[in-house]
């Protein structure tokens, strides 16, 4: 069964849940910005660690959503670009892999607008505008598709 277009959360361009605070741009920058020493460390070393981007409640919400959507019979399953229940060569290990989950649940959608990492990415990129996206070769979409990756320097990727 094909998912109705209105059920595709990629068509929503901003927060759609209360998972993250809905603050003004000024409040977001005041609350989540890195200090000058952190930015300097990143520029000198190419990485920055120990930046908390999710709290325990947000992680729990994402785990619940993942448990729901990892079942191949999920009603919005057709919105995945890729879906693999196990890519592990080890029979004792499971390695679930999917692309497009941000189109299916509010939590995975809203994580792309999480002010905690949008501000950090913005500072590390040296710009105020950040959009997480990925172009899907061979598919037409009216806008770039957000994915939780953004290149932040020469050979370093910010992986959230």
Q: For position 68, what pLDDT does the model report?
A: 94
Q: For position 132, what pLDDT does the model report?
A: 64
Q: Write the pLDDT tens digit of every residue in 31-80.
A: 999 999 999 999 999 888 888 889 999 999 999 999 999 999 999 999 98
Give 61-114 as a DSSP string.
Answer: HHHHHHHHHTSTT-TTGGG-SEEES---SSTT----EEE-GGGT-HHHHHGGG-
More confident residue, 74 or 151: 74
Q: For position 133, what pLDDT does the model report?
A: 55
Q: Write the pLDDT tens digit of every residue in 102-141.
A: 899 999 999 888 888 888 888 888 876 776 655 444 444 4
pTM, entire model: 0.73
Tell me which DSSP letter residue 122 carries.
Answer: H
Q: For position 61, what pLDDT does the model report?
A: 95
> Would you say residue 3 has pLDDT above 80?
no
């Amino acid at each position: 069964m094909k998912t109705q277009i209105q059920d595709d959360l990629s068509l929503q361009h901003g927060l759609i849940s209360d998972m993250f605070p809905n603050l003004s741009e000024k409040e977001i920058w005041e609350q989540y910005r890195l200090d000058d020493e952190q930015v300097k460390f990143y520029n000198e070393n190419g990485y920055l660690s120990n930046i908390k981007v999710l709290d325990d409640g947000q992680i729990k919400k994402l785990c619940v959503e993942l448990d729901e959507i990892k079942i191949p019979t999920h009603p919005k399953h057709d919105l995945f670009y890729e879906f693999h229940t196990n890519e592990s060569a080890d029979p004792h290990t499971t390695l679930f892999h999917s692309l497009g989950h941000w189109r299916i649940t509010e939590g995975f959608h809203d994580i792309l607008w999480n002010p905690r990492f949008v501000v950090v990415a913005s500072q590390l990129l040296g710009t105020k505008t950040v959009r997480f996206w990925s172009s899907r070769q061979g598919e037409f979409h009216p806008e770039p598709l957000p994915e939780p990756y953004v290149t932040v320097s020469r050979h370093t990727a910010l992986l959230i």
